[in-house]
Chains A and B, each alone.
Chain A
Amino acid sequence: MNVLGPVDDIPLGEGRSYTVDGEMIAVFRLRDGSLRAVSAVCPHLGGPLADGQIDNRVVVCPLHLNAWDLTTGCSKSGQPPISVYPVREDHGRILLGE
């Protein structure tokens, strides 16, 4: 379990990158208020997923617009899947891990 910081660090509908145990994780704050965490690196050509646009289901990589489901990590455009991590808000803080 890791505390990544205050949830207000992430604007609604956007994502930010965090380094956790040497690994880059993109955390998104959906417009419904919930959080999602996925691996920060696009498996296609290494794009920064935290810079991608999201809705309540998917993230779209900013480089070549491939899309992944934020809950399952499955690609919507024929790419390999990305890792997803459990994440939640607790008293205004972002908690990563079970």
Chain B
Amino acid sequence: MTQKLVVIGNGMAGARTVEEILARNGDYAVTMFGDEPYGNYNRIMLSNLLAGVETEDGIFLNDLAWYRENGITLNTGTRIERIDASARTVYDAEGNGTRYDKLIIATGSHAWVPPIKGIHRPGRGYHQGVFAFRTLDDTRGMIRYARDHERAVVIGGGLLGLEAARGLQSHVSHVTLLHAMGHLMNTQLDERAGEMLKGSVENKLGIDVIVNAMTSEILGKDRVTGVKLGDGTVIECDVVVVAAGIRPNTAMAADSGLSVERGIVVDDQMRVAGHEDVYAVGECAQHRGDLYGLVAPLWDQAKVLADHITGTTGVAYEGSRVSTKLKVAGIDVASMGLREPETDEDEVIVYNEPRKGIYKQLIIRDNVLVGATLVGDNRKAAALIQAFDRGLPLPDERAELIFDIGGAVEESPADMPDDVQVCNCNGVSKGAICGVVTGGCKTVSGVMDATRAGKGCGTCKPLVQRIVEWANGGEAEEDPAASWYVPGVPMPKPELMIAIRKYRLTSVSSVFEKLVPGGTHDAKSKMGLASLLKMMWADEYVDERDARFINDRVHANIQRDGTFSVVPQMKGGVTTPGQLRKIAEVAEKYDVPMVKLTGGQRIDLLGVPKEKLPAMWADLDMPSGYAYAKSFRTVKTCVGSDFCRFGVGDSTALGIALEERYQGLEGPGKMKLAVSGCPRNCAESYVKDVGVVAIDGGKWEIYVGGAAGAHIRKGDLLTTVSSADEVITLTGRFLQYYRENANWLERTYSFVPRIGVDRIREIVVDDADGIALALDAAVQQAVQAYRDPWKERSDPATPGQFRTSLPLTVLPQVPVRG
């Protein structure tokens, strides 16, 4: 049978709770009582209404039609005076009783008005010109009165007072803000942040601020003419707005015999102590000793209460971690957790730039963010709130927490419009991602598979993850496969390698059959496994051609029209007239549609049909440049000491030697190298997987983990050595360590920071783990196993290896450039 639900209070908490109950198809006949004569409006927006940037219509959350449509009986302008819990009845001022089966108290708060002489007029409420700032009526009255007056004083320098002062500036020419405490927003901010805010409010907004200001008297006979402070100062004014704080509305509950301390005491199901069917929610509720005056905790409470009251068992409200991110009077402010450190061990990070009114303070304990304050710059607020809420581990580079260092600004999913494009490679919008999450796919990898978001260059993956988490209400479901080396074999790389060795699995199919339950093969895992097995077994690897990606089957890079590109090896970017002549002849003979210089200092012949590859390679008679594989690609060099008048080291010779030795070396990702002959760095060594820079005195610096593609990162200096031979040895050792330990498709720019360059230096340079010789031997074995794949031309590895797969007509036709 439908039960009767009565809600006392039609503010944000009461209405939101009813909305949540309706969303759960709760079987209730709902009756609501509201003190104010309106539907439900957004109280937070009253300051915008005051400032004139929002209209009354714009701040309503639920208009009267909403109540009608949902069958809710709304009694506006009706104040409930008493609850008779034993008779399950509430009574209004006229003594009319309403019975309930369940009762929710959401009476909210009222403005607290300090006892100041002259603030009231006997029998007539506030003195003329004095206003509280809490309700729509307060705001309307204030706007009406302020229009014809000139000077306003706001009492209270908290959030509300600042908003009131800012709003009043739209109506009067001069505003003074009085705050009884030593600094503004003292509940949320420490003293320095409060000072910074004061400076901005005064200088940027032109509002006078007086702190430590005790208002002792409101002056004026018929109407307000000024206020007097404790020290005797008189401030002339004709409008006074009191925004000194709020107090929960609990008198009615207390009079009715409910348990009330500072607020109405509730348990984890929002039940009022001792009453099975009476609940309290929002600002009037006291939970585990805490009262909340912000909207986010209130939403949390409404959800728990709605779950509980509609029959979901086991739900509990466990309190909220309070954080705020807002514009206070036009100035960005965010605060969460602790205002100030509590122990000497607390790590405090402060950035202070008074000229711009920027202040940032973080408090970290055991590598977890326990407090943060931002004034003047909220760009990192969303990320900090996330770290704070979830207790995420923090980056070692603490500066990354307060600044955006060399990356895109971290956008908060909540702030992004639905149609904004998240994945710029595959054109996936935020709305499309959210749609898949709503459709039931709750893991990041699942969403990426379904939408292809993040499957291009991969730079948007962190944003995709944040959107999935946000759309799923804060957390994505754990994807067990996230730690696996490839999606189809349930093991992280180290375990996988141990198992492969233990069972001597030398082919990709044997890995599936031995290590996957049911022996299921997985197309998307083959390439990663092929790379790993080749690295582990070198010439013992059993090369099943179907495990290779098409590029590796035909040793060329597939293009959008199904043709391929041919890049002959050109070590160190050094060529000869004879080589150029040969390339030119081949290009002409095969009608190559485009000849292009590559970023890696080679020549690319694009648009070659698969079936022509072997003949072209034969005519070229040059080795493969490996411009298609997850492998060692190229060593870019500058002119070096032979010709360049600045060169201090022979970069071309070293580049050629490196490429000669490590050509074709497969790995978890591409390996792009460079050698520069001096610190002018013309070969861009600082942004390569391994970059070498000659410095004066015959020395070479080796940088690792650089990138300048979709991701930009300056490499970390691994070490400085005195000879080219050492460079060659350490490059091989580092690359082998990367090959053995990096995840599939993890480039060095992720791998190096993940392991840490200090740790890599210990292993690769200092041999702290005693594995240097083993790494050298392993890479030597791989070097010896090298065969130029273009030699396969005369002896195809499989039937039809170079047979066309091209459809007849439908492909996009790439124009020939002449």
A contact residues vs B (CB 8 Å cutoff): 8-17, 19, 22, 24, 26, 31, 40-41, 45-56, 58-60, 62-67, 76-78
Contacts and interface: CB of A to CB of B under 8 A. Distances in A.
Contacts of B804: 17
Nearest to A19: B808
A11 B562 contact: no
A13 B426 contact: no
A48 B800 contact: no
A51 B805 contact: yes
Contact of B523 (A8, A24, A55, A63): A55
Given A10-B799, A16-B805, A53-B546, 14 more contacts: A11-B546, A17-B805, A31-B521, A41-B810, A45-B560, A50-B805, A51-B558, A53-B524, A63-B558, A65-B452, A65-B455, A76-B449, A77-B451, A78-B451
B430 to A, nearest CB: 16
Contacts of A55: 488, 520-523, 526
A51 B563 CA distance: 11
B806 interface: yes
Interface in B785-818: 798-800, 803-808, 810-812
Contact of A62 (B550, B799, B811): B550
A63 B560 contact: yes
B427 to A, nearest CB: 11
Interface in B519-549: 520-524, 526-527, 544-547, 549
B512 to A, nearest CB: 8
Contacts of B811: 41, 46
Contact of B452 (A22, A48, A50, A66): A66
A48 B523 CA distance: 16
A62 B611 CA distance: 17
A15 B547 contact: no
A32 to B, nearest CB: 9
Nearest to A65: B455
A41 B526 contact: no
A46 B523 contact: no
- Tell me what chain B mostly uses at the interface: helix, strand, loop, or mixed: loop
A11 B805 contact: no
A41 B806 CA distance: 8
B53 interface: no
Contacts of A9: 799-800
B439 to A, nearest CB: 11
Interface string B487-525: 010000000000000000000010000000000111110
A54 B546 contact: yes
A62 B558 contact: yes
Contacts of B520: 55-56
A64 B521 contact: no
A13 B807 contact: no
Nearest to A48: B805
Contacts of A56: 520-521
A55 B800 CA distance: 19
20 contacts: A8-B799, A9-B800, A11-B799, A13-B544, A14-B553, A19-B808, A26-B805, A41-B807, A41-B810, A45-B560, A45-B812, A50-B805, A51-B550, A53-B523, A53-B526, A53-B547, A56-B520, A59-B523, A62-B551, A78-B452
B450 interface: yes
Interface string B303-318: 0000000000000000
A46 B546 contact: no
Contacts of A54: 523, 546
Contacts of A11: 545-546, 798-800
Q: Indicate the member of B526, B549, B798, B807 with the most A CB atoms within 10 Å.
A: B807
A19 B810 CA distance: 14
Nearest to B803: A16
Contacts of B544: 12-13
Contacts of A78: 450-452
Given A13-B547, A16-B800, A77-B452, A53 B527 contact: yes
Interface size class of B (residues with CB under 8 A): 35 or more
Interface of B: 426, 449-452, 455, 488, 509, 520-524, 526-527, 544-547, 549-551, 553, 558, 560-562, 798-800, 803-808, 810-812
A19 B426 CA distance: 31
B198 to A, nearest CB: 53
Nearest to A8: B799
A52 B524 contact: no
A35 to B, nearest CB: 14
Contacts of B451: 77-78
Nearest to B524: A60
Contacts of A15: 805
A17 B803 CA distance: 8
A26 to B, nearest CB: 7
Contacts of B807: 17, 24, 40-41, 46, 48
A15 B810 CA distance: 19
A76 B451 CA distance: 10
A62 B523 CA distance: 11
A60 B799 CA distance: 21
Contacts of B455: 64-65
Nearest to A43: B810
Contacts of B450: 77-78
A21 to B, nearest CB: 12
B669 to A, nearest CB: 16
A64 B452 contact: yes
Q: Which 7 A-B pairs have the closest CB atoms?
A: A13-B546, A50-B805, A48-B805, A55-B521, A11-B798, A51-B550, A55-B523
B522 to A, nearest CB: 5
Contacts of A66: 452
Contacts of A62: 549-551, 558
Contacts of B799: 8-11
A56 B527 CA distance: 16
A60 B523 contact: yes
Contacts of B509: 13, 31
A12 B526 CA distance: 14
A90 B526 CA distance: 29
A97 to B, nearest CB: 20
A63 B547 CA distance: 17
Nearest to B797: A11
Contacts of A26: 805
A65 B526 CA distance: 13
A21 B810 CA distance: 16
B527 A40 contact: no
A58 B523 contact: yes
Contacts of A64: 426, 452, 455
Contacts of B549: 53, 62
B817 to A, nearest CB: 21
A47 to B, nearest CB: 7
Contacts of A19: 808
